[in-house]
Amino acid sequence: MRHSSAVIYAAALLGLLAVVAPANAQSKMPRVGVLLTGSPSSGVRSLELDAFMKQLAELGWVEGKNLVVDQRWAERADRFPELAAELVRTNASVILAPGPEATRAATAATLTTPIVMIASADPRTVGVSSLARPGGNLTGLTIGPVEVVFEKRLELFKQAIPGLSRVAVLWDVDRTTNLGDRSAVLEKPARALGLRLQHVDVKSPRDFEPAFKAAKVGRAGAMLLVEGPRAVANRDLIAELGLRNRLPVMGHFRPIVQAGGLMSYGVDLNDLFRRAAGYVDKILKGAKPADLPVEQPTKFQLVVNLKTAKALGVTLPPSVLSRADELIE
């Protein structure tokens, strides 16, 4: 009996060790916290996140082997502060913060945990001292000079729809910052192109439909998106509203075109996420964010949905089609 009890005890102890050992090993691994826009329940894993994870693996960091990746998803910008605080409490080694809302939430949650931002519009608004020497616990990648990107988007819209005279600008982010009204950067290039702008603000998902109705009442001929988390999470709805109201939609990022928007022009997010993995790699190896220069994008892409163009009766000129990096049919 004693022998049998000893065997049972030993087996139980081995079983306990088998459970505790992996948990202890995981607790000693570096942790990367990631703030993501959208919902994992949609069943669609972010292609950009895949690019980030693949690049991390190429740099020697494999999830579950020598790295823990802790994802937090938000469909609304007001959820980011809570999620960022959660990541700080997990003792994350570094936080990846794609987008200005996620970046602001992360910087408000911690002054010590390293943060790598992606696609921040203006790093000065989140405490970066300079691009060369950011200082503090924040570094990463921006979307570049917003004036240049906005000007190019309006120019492409005008080329795509030659008779265009009025454009509604849907702001899914706060237009007002401590550096002034961001909508002002659109006025000069709009005037140069002979375009009149109508600014429409979105504060909740319920505002998208009224926004398109307001654009129609204002006789806008197209809708230019300034995307935040809500627009990304509701891109299918936005594309549907564009088709229903016969308003061509242009976004900054490719997903809106995949959903049925007409065009997008902006940074290549896959490229930014891949480059962000390099920052994470350096920080996990001991580099300080304060010493890692903030980088601007090197790749921009124009994506066009030909099926949407046909549905809207828009005949895109060769000058636009020849410049497209991707045509969705």
**What gap in Å lies between CA 167 and CA 157, rounded to an integer?**
9
Note the pLDDT of residue 112: 96
Residue 13 has pLDDT above 70, yes or no: no
CATH topology of domain 146-268+301-328: Rossmann fold (3.40.50)
Burial 84-105 (b: 16+ CB within 10 A, else e): beebbeeebbbbbbbbbbbbbb
CA 2 to chain centre: 63
Class of domain 2-144+269-298: alpha beta
Which residues pair with residue 328 across a beta bridge?
305
pLDDT band at 12 (very low <50, low <70, confident <90, very high): low
What are the boundaries of each domain within the chain?
Answer: 2-144+269-298, 146-268+301-328
Q: Are 95 and 87 in contact (CB under 8 A)?
A: yes
Topology match between the domains 2-144+269-298 and 146-268+301-328 = yes
Tell me the average pLDDT across 84-97.
97
What would the pLDDT profile of 30-64 be if each residue is shown by its tens digit?
Answer: 999 999 887 776 544 467 889 999 999 999 999 99
Contacts of 77 (CB under 8 A, 6+ apart): 101, 173, 228, 229, 230
Q: Please give the model's pTM, rounded to 2 decimal places.
A: 0.80
pLDDT band at 16 (very low <50, low <70, confident <90, very high): low
Q: Which two tokens stand for residue 199?
A: 């600014």
The winner for highest mean pLDDT among 7-11, 167-171, 229-233 is 167-171
**What gap in Å lies between CA 114 and CA 313, rounded to an integer?**
49
Of 96, 102, 110, 98, nearest to 77 by C-alpha is: 102
Region of 168 (left: φ > 0; alpha: ψ -120 to 50; beta: rest) is: beta
**What gap in Å lies between CA 57 and CA 315, rounded to an integer?**
44
Neighbours of 208 (CB within 10 A): 20
**What gap in Å lies between CA 265 and CA 153, rounded to an integer?**
6
Percentage of residues in the chain having pLDDT higher than 90: 60
For 202, counting Cβ atoms within 10 Å of its Cβ (0-12 exposed, 13-18 middle, 19+ buried), the class is buried
Note the pLDDT of residue 175: 74
Residue 138 has pLDDT above 60, yes or no: yes
Q: What is the largest CA-CA distance in the chain?
A: 94
Which residues pair with residue 153 across a beta bridge?
none
Q: Are 284 and 326 in contact (CB under 8 A)?
A: no
Q: Is the dihedral of CA 140, 145, 151, 155 positive or negative?
A: negative
Q: Are 28 and 20 in contact (CB under 8 A)?
A: no
Cα–Cα separations (whole angstroms), residue 117 to 224, 231, 232, 273, 286: 24, 19, 18, 10, 18
Residue 107 has pLDDT above 50, yes or no: yes
**What gap in Å lies between CA 109 and CA 103, rounded to an integer?**
10
For 54, counting Cβ atoms within 10 Å of its Cβ (0-12 exposed, 13-18 middle, 19+ buried), the class is middle
